[in-house]
Structure 1
């Protein structure tokens, strides 16, 4: 492999494990909690998961005595979009299995879930895994978005595993991938297959979290990477003093990335989708809010600024949310007919005829390019692909129109020159921060212990993340505990509930306490690049959001 000097240096980093996992695994003690319930729809969940439902939370603690572990054969799958640290999850899983028993083997299914269906896998070795330690990306075995959701697919998974002698599958993915892991675990148990399934919480979006899963891996690195770029742009804006930069940030639904980046960089404006929904703000009200900041800053001689826009914003604006819901439902039920409409004009005409009056009005009032983006191919769940909707440009156009009206009426005399950006892929495969390097390694190592303990239908959980890595708490959370019923493809299905920004939580309350000052007074901060060597407060701190949630002060 061609490697950079940083990559060569990072090979030498030794991830820190929680105390319970760093000693003799033969003395490890499993502490079992009370029976659990799903976050909602308990009756439906009991019926859908009669075997898996109600399992207890487990925690690993140092114990006494010695237990000899038998050799295990395990398969691992990277599912969905990339997130920094995925390689270390696999390295931790590999090392954990080998520590349990040196004769254990780990097989990596290639290209995501399709790898197990097609029986394409490689046995991972010391030399192969060592090439990927502490690095970004998912290229160690590749990822994919094939969904494991049908009984035919489940049966094929069992067939492939049986042929290879594999007795456990680790699925590294987001909320949908882990939902599939829960359904797969229930199927194996129902069919009496001696196969266990363990999930690992992955997504830079930060929306796979709850009281037990404090953060999904990759969020720390991605937000620090984006914050570096935002800080660079802020410094450029403050130097040139002539541009308003509108920056859309990745995050399919929740605004965790946008909020964390705002806390790190102190922009002039940061929109939080969940607040927009809570207040029932219309698109025009959002525009007017931005206009007020632009005009106020202009009066102070500052015709520049930075506005952060969450990727999923448009789905939280009431009239847009209703329109998108109608479009998703309409196109889900008429997919075959819609596919026969070859031109945008035909598609637009058909959609307008079949939408409600209010939604038809909203759709018709949108710029042509936004209409086209709303009608593009759906995502794997049948929903609008919000990443393709150029929300930042829509806001720029609407703000510019409003300012032009105000200028005509003598209420605004400034200049509104703009640049727009979308930060997404730039952060998904970055070199993981020290936090993610340790966290991901611990998640993988912990998954190996969950398998050794013959657990299935669990997600690997490392808690107490606001403290140093050695004080983290290892264990497992039942996947069904995090699930509820939601509408997918026009049908109610069991899924892991997405965690949106908590408007009563410490991160958002801290942002609210400072945003008015940041809007008027240029208060930009410049985080700079992720650091790997140096003092703890520079190299080993978690995100500001996680620190605030752990009760620490905002600095």
Structure 2
């Protein structure tokens, strides 16, 4: 495999570890835990793994561990740093016992079910250290949810002598990991299951999981490109750029990118929902800012839009919820309807309120709302061109304002969607270190015989040597949610808190950013150079943990 000059140089980077886990460790157990909500229902579903304590590793004299075979799975969408999780897991296992072995299941959970795997040796691991992507073993979105799948997986686990499986994934993947851990413990299979928190969306976070890996890198990649666009915007002075960003269920990416680049407008889905804003409210707000800037001679600007925005507009959210339930029940029948008749079919089968809203939507957006669901039963909001919908509606509103004598400017648009561009970037120093530490911590959880835990690394705004490594029971993060028309246990998504420091900082500065041109140009990720440049965490983390981004 031919490597670029950067890849060659980057391969020699040695990720930093928390001081407490560099040699021997001992476990400090916290108090018994309970789920974040729906305690009775979660406890009933997970009798063998519910209520376990939070764990913290502390330095101790090195001890002997037996050799162990471990399996690893990359699940769901790619996120920068996944290879370093596997590298940390491999190095941790070898540090405990040089005869331990690591097997990678290919193309996600499906590889476990279908018995497709490869052994990950030092030569293979070394080729992927500090690189982006999940291509070392591939990823997939197969859900581990049935007894038949669990039993099929157990066959290859036993054949390979595997004693633990590490699943690297997001909230749904880690929920599946917990279900698998519960089942294997229930039947006495003698197989541990450990999770690692991955998602660039940043919505897998809580008191014990300060951030999901990949968020730091993805936001820096997107912010670089947003900064480039803003520089062009401020040079040409003739376009409004509508930029949609990843973030189906939460607006963490949009908010972090706004903190890094200071755009004229950034929509936060959670605020839209809290204020019960309509689509017209959003359009009018944008149009008013465009008009106000035009009055100052600024016929240009940038608008950041989280991809899940449309689901947070209350009326749209109710419509989508009914659509999800209806299509879960009647998907086969709907698939048989001619495309030209699908719109009328949906209009006839929804409640009167939602039918009226659906009928009022532009045909393109309406069609996008009925496309195939993702594996978890949700509308694929990334396929909805919200940026174009808003741009076109703002254009129409400005035309009305011009006719009313309230606007006298020029409005031309450019549209962008930044998604895949950030998912497989080489990890930033923060993500390289954080992911390596997560993987190394997972090896320690395996070595200590734990199951049903997620690897946890905290205190992440401090130098890596001061990070706190441990484990958090996955059941602690769960609640019950409706999926495919049924109530299911899932890890609760972390939304942007409107009373949190990151949003408050944004809200305090957005009026100035709207009216003036305060653009910041972050530039590319810096891998080599001063610590304050190369190792800085996201502004979100700094505000959450330290209360400041200075």
Give the TM-score, by structure 2 length. Answer: 0.99
> Is this contact kept in 2: 1:323–1:359, CA < 8 A?
yes
CA–CA distance in structure 1, aligned partners of residues 376 and 168 of structure 2: 19
Alignment counterpart, residue 374 of structure 1, candidates 356, 365, 369:
369
Shift of 1:368: 1.1
> Is this contact kept in 2: 1:246–1:418, CA < 8 A?
yes
CA–CA distance in structure 1, aligned partners of residues 226 and 234 of structure 2: 12
> Is this contact kept in 1: 2:327–2:334, CA < 8 A?
yes
SS in 2 for 1:431: coil
2:418 match: 423
1:7 match: 7
> Is this contact kept in 1: 2:276–2:314, CA < 8 A?
yes
2:481 match: 486
Shift of 1:466: 0.9
Equivalent positions of 1:66-465 (< 5 A) are: 66-343=62-339, 345-465=340-460
Deviations 1:469-489 (A, max 9, x none): 010000000000000000000
SS in 2 for 1:131: helix
1:51 match: 48
Unpaired stretches in structure 1, ≥5 consecutive residues: none
SS in 2 for 1:60: strand
Aligned residues: 550
> Is this contact kept in 2: 1:85–1:436, CA < 8 A?
yes
1:33 aligns with 2:38: no
CA–CA distance in structure 2, aligned partners of residues 99 and 170 of structure 1: 17
CA–CA distance in structure 1, aligned partners of residues 255 and 156 of structure 2: 43
CA–CA distance in structure 2, aligned partners of residues 15 and 406 of structure 1: 56
Deviations 1:98-156 (A, max 9, x none): 00000000000111111111111111111110000001010000000111111110111
CA–CA distance in structure 2, aligned partners of residues 402 and 124 of structure 1: 58
> Is this contact kept in 1: 2:501–2:547, CA < 8 A?
no
Shift of 1:243: 0.1
Shift of 1:551: 1.6
Deviations 1:502-526 (A, max 9, x none): 1111000000010000000110000
2:19 match: 19
SS in 2 for 1:160: helix
1:548 aligns with 2:543: yes
CA–CA distance in structure 2, aligned partners of residues 381 and 15 of structure 1: 34
Say what the alpha-carbon RMSD is for the aligned residues: 0.7
Deviations 1:228-278 (A, max 9, x none): 000000000000000000000011110000000000000000000000000
Deviations 1:420-455 (A, max 9, x none): 000000000001000000000000011000000000
SS in 1 for 2:470: strand
CA–CA distance in structure 1, aligned partners of residues 114 and 326 of structure 2: 34
SS in 1 for 2:346: helix
1:526 aligns with 2:521: yes
CA–CA distance in structure 2, aligned partners of residues 190 and 553 of structure 1: 46
CA–CA distance in structure 1, aligned partners of residues 388 and 496 of structure 2: 24
SS in 2 for 1:502: coil
Deviations 1:290-324 (A, max 9, x none): 01110000000000000000000000001111111
> Is this contact kept in 2: 1:222–1:427, CA < 8 A?
yes
CA–CA distance in structure 1, aligned partners of residues 357 and 461 of structure 2: 44
SS in 2 for 1:203: coil
1:473 match: 468
SS in 2 for 1:459: strand
Q: Which 4+ runs in 1 deviate beyond 2 A?
A: none
Give the TM-score, by structure 1 length. Answer: 0.98
Shift of 1:342: 2.5
> Is this contact kept in 2: 1:510–1:554, CA < 8 A?
no
CA–CA distance in structure 2, aligned partners of residues 452 and 433 of structure 1: 28
SS in 2 for 1:274: helix
Unpaired stretches in structure 2, ≥5 consecutive residues: none
SS in 1 for 2:522: coil
1:62 aligns with 2:47: no
CA–CA distance in structure 2, aligned partners of residues 277 and 250 of structure 1: 18
CA–CA distance in structure 2, aligned partners of residues 379 and 70 of structure 1: 41
Equivalent positions of 1:496-535 (< 5 A) are: 496-535=491-530
> Is this contact kept in 2: 1:486–1:495, CA < 8 A?
yes
CA–CA distance in structure 2, aligned partners of residues 525 and 317 of structure 1: 29
> Is this contact kept in 1: 2:112–2:156, CA < 8 A?
yes
Shift of 1:552: 4.1
